[in-house]
Structure 1
Amino acid sequence: MQVTLLGTGDTTGTPTVGCGCDTCEAAREPDEAMRRRLRERGVPEEYGVERSRFSVHVENERTGECLLLDCSPDFRHQFLRGDVALPDEAVVSHIHFDHLDGLGNAYRLLESLPVYAADETDPKTGESVAETVSSKYDYLDRVSVHPVSPFEPFETCGFEVTLVPVDHPPLVCYGLTVRDPETGATLALSGDSSYDVPEASRAELADADLLLVDGIVPARLCEFHPLGGRHEDEAGTPRTFGTKHMTFEGARALADDLDAADYRLVHVSHFPTPEEAFAEDAALDGERFTL
């Protein structure tokens, strides 16, 4: 299983358009220390220092098939710069635009794109993620939507994939696991989530070879959120920023809770300092992992 992080940022990405903060400037003009870190991580030079909107490419090296996890609006940019094949199939975790709107790129690029999404009705929208994807992209006859139930594994691209509910109010959202049935290699995604991941979902996400875990800012920045922080640890450190995303501390705690062999923080924003934003465990576009 070859995993390529196509997009590792939040809704606005890093650098953010029109922003001159220290972190965005460090991304635009990386110093030699940052360039060395990129080389050490194996990030191709053409990627530079960037966090585009979230998407993960998973190649099954046995079958040659490629699975796309979430469809970033940066799809075109990600596939132009990345040395990866276009997807054979895709999974959509939830209906926020930064995880979904890249589906429009299926037009004239792909002969077909089966898309898997959850079949549970969202009380907020009155329809499931699968139904929303189907209705929003009904003009794309090359996209076919396949509803799947949480906790029920399904097969795609030679992998076994399982969706699990997480906590990303006000909408339903799902984490997932991707397992190679022959090697046992496992990739897990927390999905966009607070620290309040249900126990049954934690059990499915546990013991992964690689966990991509949602962490948007350090806990110290909770004071700037209108709702503050939640899910404090024993020392009073918030593990959730507002209601929708984990703090860095919460994400690291979840990785520890789940006993992941390795992990990376994803959905990272540009609000942390450069030292925080580009910490060793904070993902960057272009990182690759062989599981």
Structure 2
Amino acid sequence: MRVTLLGTGDTTGTPTVGCDCDTCETARERGIERTRFSVHVENERTGESLLIDFSPDFRTQFLRDGVSLPDAAIVTHIHFDHLDGLGNVFRVFDALDLYAANETDPKTGNSVAETVREDYHYLEMLEVHPTTPLEPVEICGFDVTLVPVDHPPLICYGVAIEDPETGAKLSLSGDTSYDIPDPSRTVLADPDLLLADAIVPAHLCEYHPMGGRHENNDGVPRTFGTKHMTREGALDLADELNAEQTRLVHLAHYYPADEAFEEPLAVDGEQYDL
């Protein structure tokens, strides 16, 4: 299993357009990018590949990193930075299988699968497969499970991907607070690589209108506001899941420049062989 981090940034990416903060300036000076979130997973046994989420930066990411076009894809939720790149499949793909959860979202009245099918009805090459969370499905030779996480007000899912022959396992927290349900944690546990949402360091919670939540025993917030984990929350989750290796993703440019590029914060283009 070869994992390529195509996009490791949050909704605006780093550098952010029109921003001259120290972090964005440092990223420009170093030639570092954190584009909007997307992950490419190649099954070298079968010659197939799977894409997690459609970044608005789809074209740039695939041209830059030279990975193969996917045979199948997953959409974790319908926020634009995870979905709006789907239009890039037009006149690029002859066919694409797309998997998304079949649970109805009380906020929208549709499941993720239904929203994708309705919003991208014009993509005739797209075959949408409504998928039941917490039930594994075989995709590209992998056992893949969508797991409910906590990203109000919309429903959102993490993903566990396991190679049934080699035992290699990749877990993605998805966009989530620290309050991931126990059944989902069980599915995500014991990965060789965990990609965990860590939008900002915990000390920035003082600037969020809702502050921080889910404090650890030392009073450090593990959730920034309501939607995303802090760096500290993501690292606590990694310990609890017994992750062999962890990379922090969905990172905002609000990280101070002297913290923004430290381990284990990811940048675009990283590759891992599991």
State how far apart, in whole Å, the 1-side matches of 2:102 and 2:258 are: 41
Deviations 1:21-60 (A, max 9, x none): 0000000002xxxxxxxxxxxxxxxxx4100000000000
* Divergent runs of 4+, >4 A: none
Report the AA paired with residue 105 of structure 1. Answer: N
**Counterpart pick for 1:264 among 232, 247, 250:** 247
Matches within 5 A, 1:1-291: 1-30=1-30, 48-291=31-274
User: Post-superposition shift, 1:275?
Assistant: 2.1
User: Post-superposition shift, 1:274?
Assistant: 1.7
State how far apart, in whole Å, the 1-side matches of 2:71 and 2:259 are: 36
The runs of 5 or more residues in structure 1 that have no matched partner are 31-47
Report the AA paired with residue 100 of structure 1. Answer: L
Q: Percent identity?
A: 69
| Counterpart residue number, 1:36 | none
User: Post-superposition shift, 1:136?
Assistant: 0.5
Report the AA paired with residue 4 of structure 1. Answer: T
Report the AA paired with residue 159 of structure 2. Answer: L
Normalising by the residue count of structure 2, what TM-score does the alignment of the two structures yield? 0.99
User: Post-superposition shift, 1:227?
Assistant: 0.4
Report the AA paired with residue 39 of structure 2. Answer: V
Paired residue secondary structure (1:29): helix
User: Post-superposition shift, 1:83?
Assistant: 1.9
Normalising by the residue count of structure 1, what TM-score does the alignment of the two structures yield? 0.93
Paired residue secondary structure (2:83): helix
State how far apart, in whole Å, the 2-side matches of 1:154 and 1:26 are: 42
Report the AA paired with residue 17 of structure 2. Answer: V
User: Post-superposition shift, 1:280?
Assistant: 1.1
State how far apart, in whole Å, the 2-side matches of 1:217 and 1:165 are: 22
State how far apart, in whole Å, the 2-side matches of 1:105 and 1:155 are: 25
Report the AA paired with residue 143 of structure 1. Answer: L
| Counterpart residue number, 1:43 | none
State how far apart, in whole Å, the 2-side matches of 1:235 and 1:63 are: 47
State how far apart, in whole Å, the 2-side matches of 1:14 and 1:250 are: 21
The number of aligned residues is 274
Deviations 1:253-274 (A, max 9, x none): 0001101000101000000112
Deviations 1:120-161 (A, max 9, x none): 000000010000000010011011110010111001111110
Report the AA paired with residue 284 of structure 1. Answer: V
State how far apart, in whole Å, the 2-side matches of 1:276 and 1:95 are: 30
State how far apart, in whole Å, the 1-side matches of 2:36 and 2:66 are: 18
